Amino acid sequence: MIEIENLTKVYPNGKRALNSLSLNIHEGMFGLIGPNGAGKTTLMRILATLLTPTAGRVLIFGKDLQTPEGKVSTRKSLGYLPQEIGFHLKLTVEQELDYFAILKNITDPKDRNRQIDNVLEQIGLRSARKERIHTLSGGMKRRLGIGIALLGSPKLLIVDEPTASLDPAERVHFRNLLFQLAGKRIVILSTHIIEDVNQVCSDLAVITNGNLLFHGAPEILLSQVKGKVRIVPESELNAEKNLRLISSKTTPSGTEHRVLSSEKPSHTSENIEPTLEDAYLWLIQQTSEESENV
Ligand SMILES: Nc1ncnc2c1ncn2[C@@H]1O[C@H](COP(=O)(O)OP(=O)(O)OP(=O)(O)O)[C@@H](O)[C@H]1O
């Protein structure tokens, strides 16, 4: 388990990226969502021991990250896939994995080969082992990134926006791969794609401006907007009271607005089943309105 207590990070330029954040993360898939600049990467870099917090405490599998012993043991049990990964494009898939396995201190060549075979199987790149990295598709490169993170069989896997640049089929493939990998591990998935979290995470946190807005199961977040989402045509928008606009789209019959409201629907609009994205947008909007009113 990961225990985060009152974690604060203030960068040297005075930017407060995390603000006394407390959170516990258990085995399985954990989704971390929030708008740009919310503090997600800062949090993940602290968990990955790449950044030192200004205040607060983090225990990873019972070890305090502030102690040298805690840092060493976390690094041993960690696989981290950052947003950008610098591959050696002229190496083959197999050579790249071998290179990173050596960096991870897997010194015995037999053990290294065994682990590389396992990882290639897990990420579905067995047939591409002799291919040079510059010839791989974006999705295959992301899978190779996860393969590198998996070397050493880490108990904690942290992945930062892994599906952002992938096509829909590769995205689904990749998120299913993460789900399979979760098993007895902790997998932290940071993303802007709420649907990915909805499909594979049993627990999630929403952060904005370094503050924790929500922590719990996706169903609980969803339940907060149940019975409150509906589609309203442009012509009816003024007839409805206390609406919160989620999104708008142009259809052959005119502009339609997806809105949230606790009021009874007007005669031409009716409530529809909300999505996790509705709940997320509602939470974010509510918070930004509250902070504007302070
Ligand atoms: N090295 C740094 N020095 C100063 N400010 C920084 C630094 N790194 C990040 N920040 C700021 O801290 C805040 C949080 O950034 P962070 O990258 O953690 O957010 P994020 O949620 O990962 O955003 P995104 O989704 O855009 O990647 C932002 O306002 C960012 O500009």
CATH number for the domain that contains residue 159: 3.40.50.300
Domain that holds residue 250: 223-292
259 and 118 share one domain: no
Amino acid at 65: L
CB 278 within 8 A of CB 235: no
Mark which of 201, 216, 231 sits at the end of a domain. Answer: 216
Given ligand 1 and candidates 7, 15, 163, which is best to mutate, with the most ligand atoms within 8 Å of its CB?
A: 15
The larger pLDDT score, comparing residue 100 to residue 264, is at 100
244 and 199 share one domain: no
pLDDT of residue 4: 98
Question: pLDDT tens for residues 41-52?
Answer: 999 999 999 999
> DSSP string of 17-78?
EEEEEEEEE-SEEEEEE-STTSSHHHHHHHHTTSS--SEEEEEETTEETTSHHHHHHHHHTE
User: Residue 179 pLDDT > 60, yes or no?
Assistant: yes
172 and 67 share one domain: yes
The larger pLDDT score, comparing residue 152 to residue 270, is at 152
How many helices (H) and strands (E) the chain has is answered by 9, 13
Percent with pLDDT over 70 in the chain: 95
- Residue 260 burial (10 A CB sphere; 0-12, 13-18, 19+): buried
207 and 230 share one domain: no
Given ligand 1 and candidates 11, 18, 43, 45, which is best to mutate, with the most ligand atoms within 8 Å of its CB?
A: 11
70 and 162 share one domain: yes
When pLDDT is averaged across residues 128-148 and rounded to a whole number, the result is 92
125 and 9 share one domain: no
pLDDT of residue 216: 96
In the beta sheet, which residues pair with residue 89? none
Among the residue ranges 216-220, 232-236, 261-265, 284-288, the one predicted with the least confidence is 261-265
CB 274 within 8 A of CB 229: yes
